[in-house]
Each structure stands twice: as C-alpha cells, then as structure tokens.
Amino acid sequence: MNLFPQKSDAVVGVVVTNWNRKELLRACLDSLARQSHRSFEVIVVDNGSTDGSPALVEEMAKRYPVQLRLIANPVNLGFCAANNQGIAATNAALVALLNNDAEAEPGWLEALELAIRQGEDVGMTASKVLVWEDPTKIDKCGHLIYPDGQNRGRGSGQTDRGQFNRMEEVLWPDGCAAMYRRAMLEDIGGFDEDFFAYADDAELGLRARWAGWRCLYTPDAVVRHHRGATLGIGSARRLTLIERNRVLLAVKLFPWSLLWVNGAYLLARIGAGMWAAVRNRGEMRHYPGMGGKFTAALALLRGMAQATPMIPGMLRKRRALSQKRRLSGRQIRKLLLANRIGLRELSESAN
C-alpha cells in the first residue's frame, strides 16, 4: 500500500527501510528534517511493522518540511526488496539510503552530493558512520574485504582521531548511510533480492565496481548508528545470513583466481576467529559461554548449508553480468586485495 503516491522533482530521494523500530524511525526522520539540503524527498518503506510505525509516518508527513511518503508492505520483504521499492518510487537523479537506526548530521546529504559530483564515473558515496552510543568510536568509513568474501567496515571499533578525515576512494559504501547515482543503478540494476539482508550493499557495490563505477568516501557526511538494531548483535539468524551471503557474494562476483582458493582463506579466518573467541574478542564475544559459542558455530554452518543450493543461481547471474563487466578479473583481484582487511583485524573486530 502506497499512502503517499506523488513523486516530486527533488534532486535526492532518501529511502528509509523500517521494520518494527518506531522510536528509532522517529529519531531518524527527525534528523532528516534538519538537513541543510532542501531539494530532497523521503520515502519510508515499511516491511509489515506491527508497532505503529506506518501511523507515525502518516502523522509526521502532515508537518514535515519536505515531502515524506510511505510504502507500507503487508509482510517483511527484506532490506533488498524494500530498498528497490523505494528507489523505484522516486524520480530523483540521486538516491540516498539511511537506516532507520541511524541519525544523520544536518550536512549529511549536502556532503554526499558534493562527493558524488566529483566525477561522472562516481556512482556511490560513503559516509563517516559513528557508533551512536559513543560517537568517538568509528562504526565504518567505507568497507574492507577479506579474500574469502567476509567484509568489515573500514576503521570499525577505532577511536575517531581524524585518521579518515579526507575524501578518498573506497571499495563501496555501507548501505546504512549511502548515496547512489541513478544512472549507475540503471546501468547495473538494484539490490539482489536473493540476499534479503546483510552483504547486500557489498554485492551491489562490487557489482558496480565490476562495471567500472567508483566510490568516494567523504568525512563530512556524518551519521550515528545503533549497531545491530535490526536483528540484534547476538542474533544467530544474523550470523546465518552473514555467512550465507558471504558465500553467495564470492560465487557471484569474485574473480576465479580468488574463488579457487576461497576455502583456504576461510579456514585461516575460522582459525583466527577461534583464537579470538578463546580470548573473548571479535564476533564471538557477543555469544558468551560454551552454549553461546555452540549456537554461533551452528549458525555459521547453517549459513553455509543454506548457500549451497543457491550457488547454481548465483553462477547463472555471474554469467549474465559478464556483458556489464568493464574491469578484467585481474583488475578486480587487484582492487579487492588493495582493500583487504588483515586477518587479525578481521578476527578481533565485530561485524
């Protein structure tokens, strides 16, 4: 159900996907209402919330400073499908995504647009994402990747001392606070809905890089993010989706030279993760005790098992994408390894 169907002539369409996080959504929309950028509209795509979120959007729309529209789905279609709905609902040349659990500083949209205007081949821009509970800590400033397909935010967990205070190229933006050029999305397509949630921004970003589009990070686009608010930091379902989508990402988009050795990198990551778990560091610290560790291990195995029957479909998509590829396998490999996260940093940080 689309309660506010009118499209506007705004330069930027901001898409906010929501599922049962009414108060977080209110704070998110309040932050967008304070933006210095004034040629934008906001589209909230609600995934079947039962907490009154759609009614909140309807009420806020009456007094909102820019056009605020609602797409209300009867069920949870996932992050990817909801974002695709929001992207299709706006005519804007630029599309920004902001998670319902993120709050943007007033200059966020202006800074993202300034960065994406740096060149016609810049298809994506990344924000400086800080931890909501402690904004001196970095959540992510663009992304890094490990050669088995697992990814982490650049600078995740570090104290913000200005080490990422310059505009520069990064691998892809985090989907919780990003801007995309519509021309890029029309070139490569939107989010792959088979991913449902997690690693969806990685898949879209790497697919864009395959096609020759660049991504710029700007430190002036600042948001504060409640980490893990969707499923919860300690959710087994979250781990399963992350692991499943890691496999799908590698199968679909990694050059064969990295894909053939994926298992070796995976074993190295598992070993490093086990050592970090013994010292209560990294992802496993969110799963306390032997019971928690066992639950996490089962979730990871479940993710691999769920990925297996989906591999043939990913290979078909890989073949279909070949006509869009403007970088060679060697160039993609070089790009991935240039943005590689170290094994120790990966194993001792949390997703």
What confidence tens digit (pLDDT) does each residue in 178-199 have? Answer: 999 999 999 999 999 999 888 9
Buried b (16+ CB within 10 A) or exposed e, 49-74: beeebbebbeebbeebebbbbbbbbe
In this prediction, residue 9 carries a pLDDT of 84
Instruction: Please give the Cα distance from 14 to 12 (Å, whole number).
Output: 6
Specify the 3-state DSSP secondary structure of 174. coil
pLDDT score of 233: 58
| CB neighbours of residue 265 within 10 Å | 17
Q: What is the pLDDT of residues 25-64, one digit of tens each?
A: 999 999 999 999 989 999 999 999 999 999 999 999 999 9
Q: At 204, which helix (H) or strand (E)?
A: helix 200-210
- In angstroms, the Cα distances linking 315 to 76, 252, 333 are 27, 6, 18
Catalogue all structural domains in the chain, each as residue range(s) with its CATH number: 12-225 (3.90.550.10), 236-348 (no CATH)
CB 170 within 8 A of CB 339: yes
Encoding tokens for residue 15? Answer: 């898409």
Phi (first) and psi of residue 331, to 5 degrees: -65, -40
Give pTM, 2 decimals: 0.92
Q: How far is CA 200 from CA 32, 78, 162, 206, 298, in A?
A: 23, 10, 28, 10, 22
Q: How much is the pLDDT for 5?
A: 52
Residue 111: per-residue pLDDT = 98
Tell me the per-residue pLDDT of 279-311, one tens digit each, with 9 for 90 and over: 666 666 666 566 667 777 888 899 999 999 999
Please determine, for residue 243, whether its predicted confidence score (pLDDT) is greater than 60.
Answer: yes
pLDDT given at position 248: 97
pLDDT at residue 290, as a whole number: 65
Q: Whole-angstrom Cα distance, residue 219 to residue 155?
A: 13
Q: Residue 228 phi/psi, 5° resolution?
A: 70, 25
Residue 270's nearest CA partner among 339, 340, 347 is 347
β-strands 122-131, 177-181 pairing: antiparallel
In sequence order, which residues have a C-beta less than 8 Å from that of residue 52 and are 6 or more positions away?
22
